[in-house]
Homo-oligomer: A and B are copies of this chain.
Amino acid sequence: MSSFPLTPRNQVHRLPKRASYDRDQIYGILDQTFLCHAGFQVEGQVYVIPTIYGRREDTIYMHGSAASRMLKELAKGFDACVTVTLLDGMVLARSAFHHSVNYRSVVLFGQARALTDPGEKSAALEIITEQVAPGRWAEVRGPNEKELKATSVLAMPIDSASAKVRTGGPIDDEEDYTLPVWAGVVPVRMAAGTPADDGRVLPGVGLPASLSRARFL
């Protein structure tokens, strides 16, 4: 199935022309980054917490300390919401009203469950690590039994999702084009700086191959 069914939960209400329910487009956005914002509630109070994730097929994986409140709450299996946003540009118009931003965002819905099997947990941690820097998992020491126990890992099958995308320049009111105001787009993106080793890298060990494949590089 190439699209997520349109339901009250994933329907984009505002500016539906910007919306997409296409699985390939949604997963394409998810695979551009590794930072999401997960929403959950505790006794009626909503919390929004940033965390990293990995995607494989129709599942999102998140992890953290075994003591994490966020993961404990998400693992209770209520309908969670996980949102990923890529900021692509500032859109400057001739009027304040028509200023905007270019972006690609995805909103995911599903019920998360905690993984308990050590092999399943390790496989999910590999997916998260590979989301950040493809190839990194094979370069480093994998998790031991103690580390796996200290780590909570959640799997959230993506039940429902939508994407919302704005591209292009400002659209001003026709009469405003006579104003002597600069209007256009300033592109923005995540950019990586120069890698700095931690001062204890062994002689002869160079930058890892995974870095050349890392998101943002």
Contacts and interface: CB of A to CB of B under 8 A. Distances in A.
Nearest to A86: B50
Q: Among the interface residues A68, A79, A85, which one has the most CB atoms of the partner chain B within 10 A?
A: A85
Interface in A86-116: 87, 90, 92-97, 99, 101, 103, 105, 107, 109
A77 to B, nearest CB: 13
Contacts of A28: none
A6 interface: no
Nearest to A198: B169
B193 A190 contact: no
A217 B188 CA distance: 9
Nearest to A33: B87
B196 A182 contact: no
Interface of A: 9, 13-15, 35, 37-41, 44-50, 52, 64-65, 67-70, 78-83, 85, 87, 90, 92-97, 99, 101, 103, 105, 107, 109, 125-126, 129, 132-133, 136-137, 139-144, 147, 151, 169-170, 172, 176-202, 204-208, 211, 214, 216-217
A188 B90 CA distance: 19
A139 B94 CA distance: 8
A37 B48 CA distance: 7
B140 A68 contact: no
Q: Among the interface residues A178, A192, A194, which one has the most CB atoms of the partner chain B within 10 A?
A: A192
Contacts of A137: 96
